[in-house]
Amino acid sequence: MTNCSGTPKTCAPLWTGAARSTINSSLAVSNGVVYVGSLDRHLYAFDAAGVTGCSGTPKTCAPLWTGVTNG
């Protein structure tokens, strides 16, 4: 972990990502990809390492891909 301090330990994010709507789900991580869902039924996939599609300071990442869910 990086950018952490205090008791209990609190850490700053390594990167952030943009979504079209409010994120309303827990995230899942598999094979280096972070998956999150939004209120408008979109699923977003981001590079967990914050490398692909990421730039700037603070680092912001674009999704690797997005999709619409049926739920």
Task: Break the chain into its structural domains and give their ranges.
Answer: 17-68
Give the pLDDT confidence score for residue 25 in this predicted structure.
Answer: 84
Give the pLDDT confidence score for residue 22 in this predicted structure.
Answer: 85
Give the pLDDT confidence score for residue 70 in this predicted structure.
Answer: 83
Give the pLDDT confidence score for residue 1 in this predicted structure.
Answer: 58
How many Å is the Cα radius of gyration of the chain? 13
CA atoms within 13 A on the CB side of 12: 7
Distance (Å) of CA 2 to CA 9, 27, 44: 11, 20, 24
pLDDT per position in the chain (71 positions), as tens?
Answer: 567 999 999 988 889 998 888 888 889 999 999 999 988 889 999 999 999 999 999 899 999 999 998 86
